[in-house]
Chains A and B, each alone.
Chain A
Amino acid sequence: MGGVPYGRPMAMTDADGRDGLQLDQTTVQIGPYLQTWPCGLVLELVLQGDVVQRARVVRPPYGPTKGAPDGVSNRLRGAARLLKLLQLDGLTERCRRAAAAHERHEAVDIAALRAAVRRSGAFAALPPRLGSCRLEGTETDVRSRLRAWLDDGEEQPEGATTEPKSRLSGLLSGLEWNEAMLVINSFTPHQLRGMAPREKVADAGDEPERKHAAMEHAH
């Protein structure tokens, strides 16, 4: 059963974590470039319909190219990606423009931006406790991370941010596609590099994949 037709693993049924329906399972590689995606990150996802069953980091994302790793401009760029996922294109544009303006050392009114985001219902639209993990010693979720990105805008001293102990692949299992995308985009590239190290096939460790790997070895 199964095999790798046209160079891709065939869709196979597997036990389901959501509603007990045995749906086809499909394995896809996503990345390194997408509209709303940390640059350079490559994930191998085992999907059942729109639910992520397992995730494996094939390649960690690139580090930030400009500014302090978790500084204002990179946090605004992160907020822009999340807002894009919430279909708020206008506010996405405002965030990106503010990030660019901050890099040119122009004054940026982050409070106004934050008020506009709140009026759009963005915080209410995010489910509570989505992607929750400990960050800098406090429990955070996607909503609180977005809120922190749009906070007063004080430059954090470099290195003050401790990286989260959770692994990205662990946070994604069982999430629906859109929720998984929100979680992936709720970390700065700097934070992601700490929590998304390259993972070997065996790490994700499940029966069909081991077989697949063994077959590749035999060739």
Chain B
Amino acid sequence: MTAATAAAALLLMLGGAWLVAVFDRIAAALVARRPIVSPWLAPLQSGAAHLARRPNRTEHPDGLNWALAPALYLALAFVGVALVPLSTTGAIADLPAGIVLWGAVESLTVVAVFLHGWSANALFPLLGAYRYVAIGLPVMLISMFVLIAAALPAQSLALGAIVQSQAGLWNVVRQPLGLPLFLLLGLSLTLRGPFNYADSADLAGGTDAERSGPPRALWQWARLSMAVSFSAMAATLFLGGPLGPAWGTVELGPLWLAAKTAVVLALLVAASHLLARMPPSRMLTLLWTVLLPLSFVGLVAAGIEAAW
């Protein structure tokens, strides 16, 4: 790992989180049919406003876990982006089984969100926490099938090899079910729109309902960062990651990855503003009876295609 790779990853995470917030403002204004007012500065202003407020305290919270949950969530987002090959020469953590560690990031995110809701010791956060676990589990199972399918053509669990396997044809074309199903995971990991079961309006903010001040800002930043981390991973698995034409002799890998990440981010933001959220029991039925079998069909198709 060189210092330049680390700096590029940090830039991607910070710039990306800001970009998601900007996309969110623009999408909200477009859907509500009102003029877009200062989308570039508003996220920074609202973040600063949160930092200036005093943190709230509930009755008998599990203080340690309440403080650590947002930090864990944020750390998981950074672990995710450390696995992503930023250029064709490698990632910060170029592991032989990088995709398996990403699977662990997904499941530990469920733990982080649950702890955030549970440790507040209040009704709405607790309901959000339990509900998130119930929905998060089948969504994670779907993503496991999708990840295995993406690794099949490369015959490797290393993300670098998965990128190289897409030199001829991107996985988004080779496995048409993959990216749409993986986007469901993205919505669930970042508590957004149709998969926002943890921090939703019917629970007055859910796991975030009792939060104010700097911890709230940290939680929101972690959500935005996880969106970036997920999108960089989706771009790596399905859009060829840093692959793309060079400019003369200058390799443009990191720029290609950033551009593809931004495209996935835009899809994620659009889905979260345009689609209605079902009640949890209806969503559970849809997940277990339709989407999970569908992801298995996708895996079988990918296996046949890879063996061909």
Binding site for B on A (CB under 8 A): 6, 26, 28, 34-36, 47, 49-50, 83-91, 93-94, 97, 119-122, 124-127, 130, 176-179, 181-182
Contacts and interface: CB of A to CB of B under 8 A. Distances in A.
Task: Choose among A47, A85, A90, A97 the residue with the greatest number of B CB atoms under 10 Å from its CB.
Answer: A90
Given A50-B130, A87-B194, A87-B200, A122 B33 contact: no
Interface of B: 27-28, 30-34, 59, 123, 127, 130-131, 193-194, 196, 200-204, 273-282
Contacts of A121: 275-276
Contacts of A97: 32, 34
Task: Choose among A34, A177, A181 the residue with the greatest number of B CB atoms under 10 Å from its CB.
Answer: A177
Contacts of A6: 59
Given A34-B204, A125-B282, A178-B202, A94 B127 contact: no
Contacts of A179: 279, 281
A178 B28 contact: no
Contacts of A90: 27-28, 30-32, 273
A125 B131 contact: no
Contact of B281 (A83, A86, A93, A176): A176
Given A50-B127, A93-B34, A177 B203 contact: yes
Contacts of B196: 87
B280 A84 contact: no
A125 B30 CA distance: 22
Contacts of A36: 201-202
A19 B191 CA distance: 27
A114 B273 CA distance: 17
Contact of A35 (B59, B204, B273, B277): B204
Closest 9 pairs between A and B when the two form their complex, measured CB to CB: A90-B31, A93-B32, A87-B277, A125-B276, A90-B32, A86-B276, A122-B276, A125-B278, A181-B202
25 contacts: A26-B123, A86-B276, A87-B193, A87-B200, A87-B201, A87-B276, A87-B277, A89-B31, A89-B32, A93-B34, A94-B31, A119-B274, A120-B274, A120-B275, A121-B275, A125-B276, A125-B277, A125-B279, A126-B279, A127-B279, A176-B279, A176-B281, A178-B280, A179-B279, A182-B279
Given A89-B28, A89-B201, A93-B34, 13 more contacts: A47-B123, A50-B127, A83-B276, A86-B277, A89-B32, A125-B276, A126-B279, A127-B278, A176-B281, A177-B202, A177-B203, A178-B280, A179-B279
Contacts of B281: 127, 176, 179
Contacts of B275: 120-121
A35 B278 contact: no
B202 A85 contact: yes
Contacts of B123: 26, 28, 47
Contacts of A83: 276
Contact of B131 (A26, A50, A122, A130): A50
Contacts of A85: 201-202
A85 B127 CA distance: 15
A35 B236 CA distance: 40
Nearest to B27: A90
Nearest to A90: B31
A99 to B, nearest CB: 14
B273 A176 contact: no
